[in-house]
Amino acid sequence: MSSEQQIDTSTLQRVVAGVGTGQPWSAYQAAARVLDKIPPDEIPERLRARVALLGSFTLDPFLPVLRVEAARVGLWLDTYLAPYGQFLPELIDPESGLYRFRPDVTFLAVDSDVLWNQRWAELPPITSQPVVGGLLTPLFSGLDVFDRAGSGIVVVNDFVLPRRSTEGVNAFRSKGTFAHTVAHANKHLRLRLSLRGHTFLFPLADVVAQVGRNHAFNWRTHYRGHVTWSDTLMAAVAERYVGFALAAIGKATKCIVLDLDNTLWGGVLGEDGPGGIALGPQWPGSEYVDFQRELLDLQRQGILLSLCSKNNEGEVLSILREHPSMLIRESHLAAYRVNWEDKATNIRAIARELNIGLDHMLFIDDSPHEREWVRRQIPELRVPELPADSSQYATWVGSLPSLIVLQQTAEDTRRTAQYSEAREREEYRSATGSLEDFLQGLVLQVQIEPLTDDTMSRVVQLLAKTNQFNITTRRHDETTIRRHLSAAHWRVYTMQVADRFGDFGLTGVSIVATAADHWRIDTFLLSCRVLGKSVETALLARIAADARQAGVNRLVSEFIDSGRNQVASQFLANHGFTLIDDGQWERPLATPGPEWPSWIQEGPRTRYPEGPREAVPR
């Protein structure tokens, strides 16, 4: 690999292109060795994810499989594999290699032997309770300790009954059987994981069902060296692990761009007419109805849907509005481009309209020709190979690793509505004259409040993903925020914004580190949805007013150039800050302002609570 060559997504994908489903482990091992030849320091940061594996069995052979599957989606993995069987000690000990590694995502791969070993002393217990407690209690203590270090997400698999039970036909009556132990452990695992924010359940039982239990475990390698997963299971698990890794570093798909003819329905609307397309309860239309249902499931989680089709817009709109079997309606769409322009131009326009990077979009089209053409025009776009057989569409879409949503916030579920409000707002904008008139007419309202438990996940999400209007781009996690709040070092301001067209939700955050004579603005960010409305001035005006009230004489801050936050580069200078030295900006509070913008109404005020806080208020 020449060092002048820029390493990108396609470099990684090319290396693994020849390795596919159904190939033996040795093919993965060989491809991983080719990946090893790429000098790690030439891999750009944006392609990298840090993945830790903790297992109750031998996972070394799984590493090459995981790295190859990651490369297939353009991801380079820095990996950490805990010593064999050390998953509990590694979690519990803050001095362990796991903690030093600081992973973005940690996978706990635990087989049901850990339950078996707990249980099978001399006599089978009467109930599975102590067995399950014996494992889950230390496991969750470990997760608690690890959580406090604030290191990424943790994914724990459910337990799988590895073979047909020999416990007899009466086993279902007993609470002491192994089958019951597995079910009981899964129930509690699910319950306890669901109560935590950054831990996820990995559906291993579902993956085992997908490959078939008889093919999932390799008993020869299991007994010879504790390599329990078969080649087939390793590949299937790796494909799904990769989705978590993508999401953990904020690279999951945010928007799906859909073709229409032979994609969302069978046939060609322009030729077959509204009555002639295949879409309905009977075959072949039923294949497309199911595909649409899967897409709507994704939309409900916050992945945006949009259309890009070569058709007449009027004809398509009447299908969207009137076809009795169409599940995806106009209200589900964040954007659409139905015209005779080329698809790359249209996809770029959708990206601009939604303000989403092309590398966060995925294009689904039945035409191999269109896919190839768009791929050439927009290399960073995800363009997976849709199967030629439309009966596979619904199943196929579930296998795409990048369609994974970790955090669902109130803003996510409202997002599509927000985009259609934006369409109306834009129409209004082109109808009014000056910017000031436009802003006055919007009837902007902001509400600035201290962080609460209810808004925590949204705040963490904004910290993690806001790139543009973000003066310092500090990616604080929940643990850090709670620690500083309870020590009363920080004030965390949140800002909700609405106008007469709709609600933008929580779209501004500022973190202020307080000292006796000055307040330091550690973080100041706005979601790109509310740029250009001067709401940032309102938030800063509120902070300055609070600071004056606290007897502070100046605000200090800094601008850290991340390469992507140019839009915020003038924010400090425009609000009375002057550059002191070495990137430090100061604003004396003796100078009046900043003025609250006249076109913004303030919602009901919540006073910022004083003193240390154990927890944030609800």
Applying CB under 8 A, which residues contact another protein? 24-27, 29-30, 33, 58, 60-61, 218, 220-221, 224-225, 227, 231
CB of 162 to another protein, least distance (A): 17
Q: Determine the Cα–Cα distance for residues 525 and 508; give it in Å rounded to an integer.
A: 6
- In the complex with another protein, the residue whose CB is nearer, 50 or 222, is 222
In sequence order, the 6+-apart residues with CB closer than 8 A to the CB of 587 are: 544, 554, 555, 556, 557, 572, 575, 576, 577, 578
- Which residues lie across from 78 on neighbouring strands? 50
Between 84 and 373, CB nearer to another protein? 84
From the CB of 22, what's the least distance to another protein, in Å?
Answer: 12
CB 65, min distance to another protein, A: 11
Indicate the residue among 25 and 469 with the shorter CB distance to another protein: 25
Query: Going by C-beta distance under 8 Å and a sequence separation of 6 or more, which residues neighbour residue 435?
Result: none
**CA quadruple 567, 569, 574, 577: dihedral positive or negative?**
positive
Residue 224 CB, shortest distance to another protein, in Å, is 5
Half-sphere exposure of 310 (CA within 13 A, CB side): 13
Q: Which is nearer to another protein, 33 or 500 (CB)?
A: 33
Which C-beta is closer to another protein: that of 224 or that of 605? Answer: 224
Q: State the Cα–Cα distance between residues 390 and 59, nearest whole angstrom.
A: 37
Nearer to another protein, 225 or 617 (CB): 225
What does the alpha-carbon distance between residue 562 and residue 437 come to, in Å, rounded to a whole number?
34
Least distance to another protein, CB of residue 220, Å: 6
Least distance to another protein from the beta carbon of 55, Å? 14
CA distance 407 to 411: 11
Quick one: 26 or 578, whose CB is closer to another protein?
26
Between CA 70 and CA 238 the distance in angstroms is: 8
Closer of 56 and 309 to another protein (Cβ): 56
Q: On the CB side of 277, how many CA atoms lie within 13 Å of its CA? A: 26
- Name the CA dihedral angle for 156, 69, 294, 422, rounded to a multiple of 10 degrees: 100
Q: Is the dihedral of CA 463, 466, 472, 474 positive or negative?
A: positive
- Of 27 and 52, which has the nearer Cβ to another protein? 27
355 CB neighbour count, 10 Å cutoff: 13
Q: Between 231 and 536, name the residue whose CB sits nearer to another protein.
A: 231
Q: Which is nearer to another protein, 61 or 85 (CB)?
A: 61
Would you mind telling me the total number of residues written for the chain in this entry?
618
d(CA 286, CA 272): 17
Least Cβ distance, residue 31 to another protein (angstroms): 9
Which residues neighbour 35 within 8 Å (Cβ) at sequence distance 6 or greater? 12, 15, 16, 67, 68, 71, 76
Beta bridge partners of 584: 558, 581
Element (H, E) at 77: strand 76-81
Question: CA 188, CA 140: separation in Å to the nearest integer?
Answer: 11
Which of 102/215 has CB closer to another protein?
Answer: 215
Match 């057989």 to its residue by tokens: 389
Closest CA to 60 of 29, 35, 102: 29
Minimal distance in Å, beta carbon 26 to another protein?
4
User: What does residue 423 show for φ and ψ, rounded to 5 degrees?
Assistant: -60, -45
Q: How many CB atoms lie within 10 A of CB 140?
A: 20
Sheet holding 361-364, edge to edge: 333-338, 304-309, 255-258, 361-364
DSSP secondary structure letter of residue 166: -
- Residue 506 phi, psi (nearest 5): -75, 110
Q: How far is the CB of 15 from another protein (least distance, A)?
A: 14
What's the one-letter identity of residue 296?
Answer: L
Q: State in angstroms the smallest separation of the CB of 36 from another protein.
A: 8
Give whichever of 60 and 595 is closer to another protein, judged by the CB atom: 60
Residue number, 213 or 300, with CB nearest to another protein: 213
